[in-house]
Structure 1
Amino acid sequence: MKAKILLIPLLIVIAVSVFIGLVYPQYSNGANGIKENYAKLKNEQIKLADLQKKNKNINDLSTQIASFADKSLLYSFIPQNIKEEEIISSLNGLASSSGLLLFEATISSQSKSENIISDDLEMNAGGELPLTEVSKTAPKAKNLETEIKLLGNYEKVKNFLISLERLNRNNNLGQLKIDRNKNEAGVLDDNLLVSASVEFNFFKKMPINNMNAGDSIFLNNKLETAVVDAIKNQKNSNSFQVNVEQKGKSNIFLP
């Protein structure tokens, strides 16, 4: 009788052991068990929720861009195409309005790619984050080296450089060489011979695809417009203005 009583718990233990031995490998086998598949499912659900949020942000940003009042200002500042004729026309217009003779303007092939936002705009932005803090997959601006040669007096050259800085299209003045001009008799006159290198930018639209749809740039659904204020402020800037406290010649090229 006692043996029968002890046999029942033993059979229960054996049955439970067999059950665990049959069921647990299916629950967790370290690779594709129920436990592992559940963890994978939860991970995919998190990814799906993140993509859905970014997709909503993309749609919100697209709507804001479509109705953005200063959209044309941005597209003019850094166009989607090279627009070489526009560059030459702008330089001719600036030279003419400044009273200078532009006798050479050459646009070379594309140079290295750089961040869209230049350092001078970053300094004028005044936002919480640097404008150059863009995503790794964001498009980079293509640079066009433009060599120009001008002839005119000191004040006209200065006015040209100020106007170039305020141009509607983004540009960066590179090399600048200024020499006194010699007339036909070989005598130095009041005119200056200017040789300069100017970089103009452009970049093409980047379509959204599986390579960049999950980028951090889409974490926010609010369009960042600080760069527009920076562009507008640049139109009023003057890097060539001399402070009242500074002393010296009004024209450093005169004896």
Structure 2
Amino acid sequence: MLLDSLRRGVGAGAIAGGTYGALLALVVNPLVSHVERAGHDHGHAHAGEPAVSAATTAAASVGGGVLWGLLLGAGFGVAFYLLEPALPGADAAKPYLLAAAGFLTVSGVPWLALPPVAPGAEHALDTGTRLAIYAGAMLVGAAACTLSVLAYRRVRADRSRVVAATAAAAPLALCALASLAVPSGTAGGPPAALATAFRWLVVVGQIGLWALLAGAFAHLRRRADPDATLDAFEDSRTTAGS
């Protein structure tokens, strides 16, 4: 039922959001402070005392992470209820497939056009243009994920999984090529090595958030109805072996 899926999504979101908030507090915030100090030093400026204490910042990060996880989990639960019949593959893998599509739609494809920017760097594009590009990239990402699923299901009916997976990857590859046409760039900010480290930390953090959300959701599904998930898994193995 929709309400059950929503509950699982919110529960999984609380777990994923709390973990993500802890990552922000323990890893990302200290790195941001270091990047900002490096940016000031690189620009020959003097940094003053922080206006907000580290403890307050950490608490806000954890709280914000939990809130973001709850909202994300609620949307994930509703989306899984609506889209689960159309998702290919084994029943146990479907939460992870939906999480991968969610990451690509919300972050992955938009970041191909507008990568995360380190603190202190200035965007080459104005805010309105960036928002328009980001929203458009999210729509492109959603369309690409939909085409990937359709391509996989169509090709898998007659070909092997490897061929079907290759066909499914084609729309995502086109997104990467299309992103090259988007003018972007930054000016100023910290040294390149620190900016790159910050960017990858943001990317890895979001991947971890979606993966943990999917894992927690799958676990809650198994706890709620272990026999159903086991039967679905056995059916998928029988189908694959036939």
Query: Normalising TM by the smaller chain, what interval?
Result: under 0.3
TM-score by length of 2: 0.24
Per residue, is there more strand in 1 or in 2? 1
Larger Rg: 1
The structure that is helix-richer by fraction is 2
Which structure carries more relative contact order (alpha carbon 8 Å, separation 6+)? 2
